[in-house]
Chains A and B, each alone.
Chain A
Amino acid sequence: MSGRLYKPQDYPLPYVVSDIKQWPIYRLTHDREAFLADVKAIVLQRVKAKFPSSRALHEELARVLYQERIRLTEKPWKADPPDERMFWNSIKSKLVRLDQLNSESIITEETILNEIIDRYLNEIVGNFDSRAFGFARVFLPQFWGRIFSAAPGPWLKAFSRNAKTIHEKIPITGDVEKIRHLATKGTLVVVPTHFSNMDSIMVGWILSELGLPAFTYGAGLNLFSIGLLSFFMNRLGAYKLDRRKKNSVYLETLKNYSSVAIRRGAHSIFFPGGTRSRSGSLEKKLKLGLLGTAVEAQKNHYRDFPDETAPKIFVVPVIINYHFVLEAQALISDYLKETGKERFYRENDEYSTSFKLIRFIFKFLNASSSLSVSFGEVMDVVGNKVDDEGNSYNHLGNKINVRNYFMTNGEMKDDQQREEEYTKILGERIVDNYYRYNVVLTSHLVCFATFELLKKQFKDADLFSLLRTPEEDISLPYEQLANCINQLKDRLKEMYDRGKILISPELRWNVDKIIEHGMKNINLYHAVSPITKRTDGNISSEDLKLLYYYHNRLDGYGLEKFV
């Protein structure tokens, strides 16, 4: 890794662009009407191209209405505006009237489509407030400082601690200087792993600590009903996305909102896994829809600008590693419930009040833990590596022009299927980065080893019966665990040397200290301990589901062969 290394006390780094008015997101907000009009025009054009006749459009609108009415009855959220039902009733009556009226009516399929797009856009649109951003930058370190505070103790004491110590608790690895420089040369699309609802604020804050201009990002609509989160997100460039809405008009609006924002140079954060990882493992399959908007935006840049001036989009994978995840328990139950039964997760809105969130924070104040944030390789939209100046190099190490990916026989041609294939390639590279730049924390290693050893011990049991094993039947000799961890340590070291994974500094300690550190960190948060030491010195677990969840973090590396 090249570039300057920053020490904890260097953060927050100076802004790469000091005048906030020059930030793309500021200009986007400032120029909001034009921006939204831009998005709307494209959505209208796309939907009309897909449903060219008024008959076809009429049927599609009826389908949208149907899906929305189902959502309203089956999955209502507190975040839904009070006039939601009224709005869709009026759409319904307009569609019905359209059926009865003749063609001279002023209401047409198109005016109804317009109305729906407007409503969706109003819901999605974010609002960046530069003053609030500055405030957040000062406030958030304290917020996080308390959550991830190292010293257990009363929260008031934690509150008075110097906020900067937080940076020692959150080691940032990766070529920070390169990312800072590229932010001035093009548009960044940051693609983090997704484990917790805290991720979006976490990443937003880390990026601001790096001195980068504010990012725009999509956050689940349900999170906006939490007053405190909503306050920050609304002002930090968040826009709202609603995963319950799967109708064509909504998806088109959402996609183009993000695509146009990128085209207008707004640095963006996408969670390409879609939802939080339920199982606790790193994302293997990404949702390509939003990711595809980056590819599309890059193509449009090449179409609209000659070579030298075409703005470039850079994709930056980020891997966030927590010793423990706030919603671990709910996530893993969801996962186990859904495994093999249903294709889609139930989208519930847990932690739905500020009160609950604050309770969370208070719980954390006495916890001691750190997490790590690791940046992967910066890529172009087709997954090629880029150098410090933003030039692309293919896997053979040859400098290339990304425009060529969109050219056929010397001409630039629109081809959606081609872009989808490029998005798949980009997705594969991102997943590859997630695995290679994942930092193994002590807690993950201890949980992985313990669960794998238990699996061996109960080898006749399938996963579900293993997870139901009563606590008193679980007893793993400490020595066995220590040996296993030693073996895994050697293997991880070897993988680290080959650039297959990263390891936290604690992993160089001796095995007893590793186990102690891992157990301490993971047990501090959970009311029932995923991993405990029995009075006879053996290892046990009060909650095998949680143990399984944290174990999954090291899934997919083939490490089980070394247990």
Chain B
Amino acid sequence: MYLDRIVGVVGAGSFGSAIANLLGENQRVLLYERNPESAQRIKSERKIKGTPLHKNVAIADSLQQVAENCFLLFPVVPSAFFKDMIIDFSPYLRADHIMIHATKGLHCEFDIEKANAKSIRLKDIQSMSDLILQETGIVRVGCMAGPNLAGEIMEGQPAATVIASRFNEVIYEGTLALKSNRFQVYGNRDILGIELSGVLKNYVAIASGALHGLGYGENARALLITRGMAEMIYIGKALGADKKAFLGIAGIGDLIATCTSPKSRNFSVGYRIAKGEKLEDILRDLGEVAEGVRTLKIGKLIVDHLGASAPLLQILNKILFEGLELERALHFLMRYPVTIDAEYLDL
């Protein structure tokens, strides 16, 4: 520990605790868990899912305690619960707090199951940083994203992340808090691009799992990853992000990690679909949310709303929700007219 300060982490899921442990190497950490029983258990066992907590990590009693003791806050909760969390947190947050979220997902003001692509408004689809700005008095907001599989971080393997923010100060403070011998931190000013990279890669990971499940090898996977990234760039550009973010660690870097790791939840959704399992059963088994499934639905609404085309996203929707056979879908994709390579660089 070399910094004389306390930083806060909200959410003691697998990634939340991985981040808390990373932060614990540099300073004291207050970790908040919403469920009082889990919080109590973590407090007595000093372990989360079998992994010991760093000695500098303490379990917080309340969000208020976190806000009052920490100027730097890392919320790490699934996108579906993010808004509720931030509303609970809001009364204690001020303009001198800095918040760097690590949630890879989008929030929708409407019900995504019932929404009609024509009638939705794009401003009702928000990134987590939008939510923070909207629901709290915090101005200095950032996000972290990158190839950060929680399990590998917990094991102490080397990794890197990107912190994105309009404010250099946020990148600086985040880097100071996180950087260590085994964890490298890069900065980026395009927060929307970094957030969208983290979100959109999820559905490509499902496709990658499916390819793997069908028994296809590395040629097919490499093709999927590169073209998947191109599609992410198109969607990102349409939503106002810069292409650069997608070509960095949080874009292509994270994409490679999630598309090649059987440990990734989204990957395993695709894998099991290919093995003939039903989506409902898989989701029930997984327990935790597979952001990719949500991303597919929201992504389709966005693409249809804009009248754009994103073949991979559209065909995956057909596979998961309309029962299109995988082989036929693949056939369609392979016959999709293409022109030149790496054309997205000219966007």
A residues near B, CB below 8 A?
382, 394-396, 398, 400-402, 404-405, 407-410, 413, 415, 417-418, 421-422, 425
Contact flags B1-45 to A (C-beta < 8 A → 1, else 0) = 000010000000000000000000000000000000000000000
With A409-B71, A410-B71 as given contacts, are A418 and B169 in contact (CB-CB < 8 Å)? yes
Q: How far is the CB of A559 from chain B (nearest CB, A)?
A: 19
CB within 8 A of A415: which of B96, B139, B166, B168? B168
**What separation, in Å, do the CA atoms of A432 and B173 have in the docked complex?**
32
CB within 8 A of A400: which of B94, B98, B135? B94
**What separation, in Å, do the CA atoms of A180 and B227 have in the docked complex?**
62
Which residues on A sit within 8 Å (CB–CB) of B175?
A: none
**What separation, in Å, do the CA atoms of A395 and B93 have in the docked complex?**
13
Which residues on A sit within 8 Å (CB–CB) of B110?
A: none
Most buried by A among B72, B94, B96: B96
20 A-B pairs (CB sep. < 8 Å): A382-B95, A382-B139, A394-B95, A396-B136, A398-B137, A400-B94, A400-B95, A400-B137, A401-B94, A404-B95, A404-B96, A408-B169, A408-B173, A413-B169, A415-B169, A417-B168, A417-B169, A421-B166, A421-B167, A425-B139
**What separation, in Å, do the CA atoms of A398 and B136 have in the docked complex?**
10
Q: How far is the CB of B315 from chain A (nearest CB, A)?
A: 35
Does residue B317 face the partner (Cβ distance < 8 Å to A)? Answer: no
Interface set, chain B 98-118, CB cutoff 8 A to A: 98
Is A418 in contact with B168, judged by CB distance below 8 angstroms?
yes
Does residue B90 face the partner (Cβ distance < 8 Å to A)? Answer: yes
CB within 8 A of A409: which of B5, B135, B168? B5
Which residues on B sit within 8 Å (CB–CB) of A408?
A: 71, 96, 98, 169, 173
Is B167 in contact with A418, judged by CB distance below 8 angstroms?
yes
**What separation, in Å, do the CA atoms of A409 and B94 have in the docked complex?**
12
**What separation, in Å, do the CA atoms of A422 and B167 have in the docked complex?**
10
**What separation, in Å, do the CA atoms of A478 and B173 have in the docked complex?**
64
Q: How far is the CB of B164 from chain A (nearest CB, A)?
A: 14
B-side interface size class: 10 to 19
**What separation, in Å, do the CA atoms of A425 and B166 have in the docked complex?**
11
With A382-B139, A400-B137, A410-B71 as given contacts, are A405 and B95 in contact (CB-CB < 8 Å)? yes
**What separation, in Å, do the CA atoms of A181 and B132 have in the docked complex?**
34
Is A396 in contact with B168, judged by CB distance below 8 angstroms?
no
Q: Which residue of B lies closest to A398 (CB)?
A: B137
Most buried by A among B95, B134, B135, B166: B95
Q: Which residue of B lies closest to A410 (CB)?
A: B71
Give 10 nearest A-B pairs by CB, closest first.
A404-B96, A404-B95, A407-B96, A409-B71, A417-B168, A394-B137, A405-B95, A404-B94, A421-B166, A418-B169
Which residues on A sit within 8 Å (CB–CB) of B140?
A: 418
Contact flags B70-101 to A (C-beta < 8 A → 1, else 0) = 01100000000000000000100011101000
Contact flags B49-72 to A (C-beta < 8 A → 1, else 0) = 000000000000000000000011
Interface set, chain B 139-181, CB cutoff 8 A to A: 139-140, 166-169, 173
Q: Which residue of B lies closest to A417 (CB)?
A: B168
Which residues on A sit within 8 Å (CB–CB) of B139?
A: 382, 405, 422, 425
Which residues on A sit within 8 Å (CB–CB) of B173?
A: 408-409
**What separation, in Å, do the CA atoms of A422 and B168 have in the docked complex?**
13
**What separation, in Å, do the CA atoms of A410 and B96 have in the docked complex?**
8
**What separation, in Å, do the CA atoms of A405 and B95 have in the docked complex?**
5
> Given A400-B95, A421-B166, 19 other A-B contacts at CB below 8 A?
A382-B95, A395-B134, A396-B137, A401-B95, A402-B95, A405-B95, A405-B139, A407-B96, A408-B71, A408-B98, A409-B5, A409-B71, A415-B169, A417-B168, A417-B169, A418-B140, A418-B168, A421-B167, A425-B139
Is A396 in contact with B166, judged by CB distance below 8 angstroms?
no
Which residues on B sit within 8 Å (CB–CB) of A398?
A: 137
**What separation, in Å, do the CA atoms of A417 and B173 have in the docked complex?**
14
Which residues on B sit within 8 Å (CB–CB) of A417?
A: 167-169
**What separation, in Å, do the CA atoms of A418 and B136 have in the docked complex?**
19
Which residues on B sit within 8 Å (CB–CB) of A410?
A: 71, 96
Q: Which residue of A lies closest to B5 (CB)?
A: A409
Q: How far is the CB of A295 from chain B (nearest CB, A)?
A: 13
Which residues on A sit within 8 Å (CB–CB) of B167?
A: 417-418, 421
Which residues on B sit within 8 Å (CB–CB) of A396?
A: 90, 135-137
Which residues on A sit within 8 Å (CB–CB) of B136?
A: 396
Which residues on A sit within 8 Å (CB–CB) of B94?
A: 400-401, 404
Q: Which residue of B lies closest to A425 (CB)?
A: B139
**What separation, in Å, do the CA atoms of A382 and B139 have in the docked complex?**
10
Q: How far is the CB of B198 from chain A (nearest CB, A)?
A: 22
Q: How far is the CB of B28 from chain A (nearest CB, A)?
A: 13
Q: How far is the CB of B191 from chain A (nearest CB, A)?
A: 12
Q: Which residue of B lies closest to A396 (CB)?
A: B137
**What separation, in Å, do the CA atoms of A411 and B168 have in the docked complex?**
17
Q: How far is the CB of B8 from chain A (nearest CB, A)?
A: 12
**What separation, in Å, do the CA atoms of A394 and B96 have in the docked complex?**
13
Q: Which residue of A lies closest to B170 (CB)?
A: A418
Q: Which residue of A lies closest to B3 (CB)?
A: A409
Q: How far is the CB of A421 from chain B (nearest CB, A)?
A: 5
Q: Which residue of A lies closest to B6 (CB)?
A: A409
Q: How far is the CB of A561 from chain B (nearest CB, A)?
A: 16
Which residues on B sit within 8 Å (CB–CB) of A422?
A: 139
**What separation, in Å, do the CA atoms of A410 and B94 have in the docked complex?**
12
Q: Which residue of A lies closest to B173 (CB)?
A: A408
Q: Which residue of A lies closest to B97 (CB)?
A: A404
Q: Which residue of A lies closest to B71 (CB)?
A: A409
Which residues on B sit within 8 Å (CB–CB) of A405?
A: 95-96, 139
Which residues on B sit within 8 Å (CB–CB) of A413?
A: 169
Q: Which residue of B lies closest to A383 (CB)?
A: B139
Q: How far is the CB of B83 from chain A (nearest CB, A)?
A: 14
Q: How far is the CB of B64 from chain A (nearest CB, A)?
A: 15
**What separation, in Å, do the CA atoms of A21 and B90 have in the docked complex?**
47
**What separation, in Å, do the CA atoms of A396 and B94 have in the docked complex?**
11
Which residues on A sit within 8 Å (CB–CB) of B71?
A: 408-410
Most buried by A among B5, B136, B139, B173: B139
**What separation, in Å, do the CA atoms of A402 and B94 have in the docked complex?**
10
Q: Which residue of B lies closest to A412 (CB)?
A: B96
Q: How far is the CB of A403 from chain B (nearest CB, A)?
A: 8
**What separation, in Å, do the CA atoms of A396 and B138 have in the docked complex?**
11
**What separation, in Å, do the CA atoms of A407 and B137 have in the docked complex?**
14
Which residues on B sit within 8 Å (CB–CB) of A395?
A: 134
**What separation, in Å, do the CA atoms of A417 and B166 have in the docked complex?**
9
Q: How far is the CB of B132 from chain A (nearest CB, A)?
A: 12
**What separation, in Å, do the CA atoms of A543 and B167 have in the docked complex?**
48
